[in-house]
A and B are shown apart, each in its own frame.
Chain A
């Protein structure tokens, strides 16, 4: 059967199981948009800026476990998408982005709305393609989804010239994909697993250090929790790994790294075995490399061989998918003839409990004073029973959310970790709400960040999404201000946001509900009102203490044990 490129596009996406696309039309993608209109197979979410389409696809992917899909036009559409692609690339989120391109015969002529999209996005994607012949389209789409969702996931871009959407050819759907140059390893090497178990059982001060890989591999979180409980080993997680083990499990020590807990950073600094699972030893995690887990042997499980021994040498590398490897470890444990060293673990746990007793995240809320940001987050946890999907922008509020929200399950925490993109949270929350229409979805935002994607309130309104935007409003770019206070003698160079809009009126102008809390006593009331509103989005303006700092903090370049506690 002969199909046009645009028809092939719709047909292939349907077969990939795509039911949601986030996009924004323009000249070069009109043939595709026309086909989307005619076929009406999937839901198209019209965003207000192409960057938001990619962030929404990212949020959607993290919550649904499916591949996020975005569609943008050529030139400015594609360049607007770059930040969103780079963000998904850094955080390894599976997305496929389709961009329109000028007709093939005009490529390279500085044609209207032409950009070298493949060139520009090469280093912001896992892979990208330019489809020059309609005959190649189906296979390319098939390969793109395969690449985006397997191995270390990531964004893939397909650039489709306008004439390729119009031209037609015999449609043949490739039922399977087999790329000789791309074959990710999923199963851990048997001998290495055995050695890992041996090291684990022999260790006296072990710790699991787990990351985004656990949130990425569906079903792995339960295995991790089971393994940690069975061995009675402590677990710390990166910002990307939160939710991997329930926050109220006693084995969980909280996040590690720059704004990690005292107990997690001290345990890592003193452990004799660090078992890294789906984490990439980011500099926000390690602090000064030489002082990171100085006494430990390191086991590193990662699907991407280039993550292993990149920053920190791994004594025992295991290339494989975390879910498969955790399963292999649990199996190997069943047949192992030794047990964990209970005596040593008792001493280790005793030490950990001493560190934990410092209660490093403690804060005092004076009910007659100004609202503390930490208080807002704790109340959000309490009133949603820790069951909401939380997205964030970037800054102090993001760190407080990570420290104080407390996740009971994986796939409920959507934050921009690697790129740290302000403006990420609202569109990501929109994507999450689309994936789980019934869930409570909250974007914990800063007053500066929220303005980078504020136009997406319009998207939330159009698609009737009850997203809650909780603005922790300190009138500052708080994270920048904190660094200026600590490292630049309080010279607050351009970090104060004068002339902030009235967020309540702004919410109303976009058609949603706007609420404000100015006193600690208001916090619970407005949160309850927001949770009750399922008809529109709600923006809550929490007017908080202006110069609160995030602690603990490991100053950049210092070792993890050199934390500043308050």
Chain B
């Protein structure tokens, strides 16, 4: 099963390598890894998407927690949570297809971020499945390139995922 795990880490040199190294050394599968700063500059937050049965996921969480710079982990899959991802797609746009591409962008509420004589670059944020659908709809027009951030996520409700320093 697919699991989205959030990890708070010390913002120090080499953390990313430690996490990536853990996954390769133990043969765990990693679909996505996203790293970004948090409100507190001394920490970074990672969102990690992996697959495995209960046993494997349990080990992944334990092994992540065992890494010294890892402060805290949370398996979002077990909670009420939201996930969002962003995609940038550069699609061909000729005289004939321009209007169709724009209409599609409108339907999906995507933004046009760049225009050239023969292309549009569109930006869309949403759940992975929505992004997949958007990409599929644009494919007939000819997608030149695309890039996705991979999902970021957090749990619903008022409670935050933070550390109480002591």
Interface string of A176-187 (1 = CB under 8 A from B): 001111100000
Set of chain B residues within 8 Å of A309, measured between Cβ atoms: 55, 58
CA distance A4 to B158 in the complex (A): 50
Residues of chain B within 8 A of A310, CB atoms compared = 59
> Which of B9, B58, B59 lies in contact with A181, CB distance below 8 A?
B9
- Cβ–Cβ < 8 Å partners of B13 in chain A: 130
Complex CA distance for A305 and B63, rounded to whole angstroms = 9
Contact in complex: B68, A122 (CB < 8 Å) = no
CB of B10 within 8 A of CB of A181, answer yes
Question: Which B residues lie within 8 Å of A181 (CB)?
Answer: 9-10, 68-71
User: Is the C-beta of B18 less than 8 angstroms from some C-beta in chain A?
Assistant: yes
Residue B81 is within 8 A (CB to CB) of chain A in the complex: no
Inter-chain contacts of A130 with B (CB < 8 A): 13-14
> A325: CB under 8 A from chain B?
no
The answer for the CA separation of A147 and B62 in the assembled complex, in Å, is: 17
B residues near A182, Cβ cutoff 8 Å: 68
B66 at the interface (CB under 8 A from A): yes
Q: How large is the interface on B (under 10, 10 to 19, 20 to 34, 35 or more residues)?
A: 20 to 34
The total of interchain contacts (Cβ-Cβ below 8 angstroms) comes to 38
The verdict on A122 contacting B65 (CB below 8 Å), with A180-B71, A181-B9, A310-B59 known, is: no
Interface size on A, residues (CB 8 A): 18
Alpha-carbon gap, A123 to B67, bound state (A): 11
Q: How far is the CA of A166 from the CA of B123 in the complex (A)?
A: 52
Residue among B25, B58, B66, B166 facing the most chain A CB atoms (10 A cut-off): B66
Most buried by A among B21, B25, B62, B165: B62
Say if the beta carbon of A40 comes within 8 Å of chain B. no
Contacts of A178 in B (CB 8 A): 166
Q: Is A127 an interface residue (CB 8 A)?
A: yes
* Cβ-based interface call for B36 (8 A): no
Let me know if A180 and B21 touch, CB within 8 A: no
Bound complex: CA A522 to CA B59 (Å): 54
Which A residues touch B58, using CB under 8 A? 309
Contact assessment for A306 and B70 in the assembled complex, using a CB-CB cutoff below 8 Å: no
Whether A200 is near chain B, meaning CB under 8 Å from some CB there, is no
A205 in the interface (beta carbon within 8 A): no
Q: Which of A95-126 contact B (CB under 8 A)?
A: 118-119, 122-123, 126
Contact for A306 among B14, B62, B71, CB less than 8 A: B62
Known: A118-B14, A181-B9. A126 touches B68 (CB 8 A): yes
In the complex, the chain B residue whose C-beta lies closest to that of A308 is: B62
Taking the closest CB of chain B, its distance from the CB of A228, in whole angstroms, is 29
A11 at the A/B interface (Cβ < 8 Å)? no
Residue B41 at the chain A interface, CB threshold 8 Å: no
Q: Known: A130-B13, A306-B59. Is A123-B69 also a contact (CB below 8 A)?
A: no
Known: A118-B14, A180-B163, A180-B165. A127 touches B62 (CB 8 A): no
Within 8 A of B (CB), among A139-165: 147
Instruction: Let me know if A524 is at the binding interface, CB within 8 A.
Output: no
Q: In chain A between 169 and 199, which residues have their CB closer than 8 angstroms to a CB of chain B?
A: 178-182
The reply to whether A305 and B62 form a contact with Cβ atoms under 8 Å apart is yes
Tell whether A306 pairs with B63 under 8 Å between CB atoms, given A123-B21, A127-B68, A181-B71. yes
In the complex, what residues of B have CB within 8 A of residue A304's CB? 66
Please, how many angstroms separate the alpha-carbon atoms of A119 and B70 in the complex? 18
Q: Can you list, as one digit per residue, whether each of B153-166 has a CB less than 8 Å from chain A (1) or not (0)?
A: 00000000001011
> What CA separation (Å) do A130 and B18 show in the bound complex?
14
B116 CB within 8 Å of chain A: no
Chain B residues closer than 8 Å to A122, beta-carbon distance? 14, 17-18, 21
Residues of A within 8 A of B65 (CB): 305-306
A306 to B22, CA, bound (A): 13
CA distance A313 to B91 in the complex (A): 52
Chain A residues near B63 (CB, 8 Å)?
Answer: 306
Q: A181-B68, A181-B70, A309-B58 are in contact. List 15 more A-B contacts (CB 8 A).
A: A119-B17, A122-B17, A123-B25, A127-B68, A178-B166, A179-B68, A180-B163, A181-B9, A181-B69, A181-B71, A182-B68, A305-B66, A306-B62, A306-B63, A309-B55
Q: What are 24 of the A-B contact pairs (CB < 8 Å)?
A: A118-B14, A119-B17, A122-B17, A122-B18, A123-B21, A126-B68, A127-B68, A147-B68, A178-B166, A180-B165, A181-B9, A181-B10, A181-B68, A181-B69, A181-B70, A304-B66, A305-B62, A305-B65, A306-B59, A306-B62, A306-B63, A306-B65, A306-B66, A310-B59
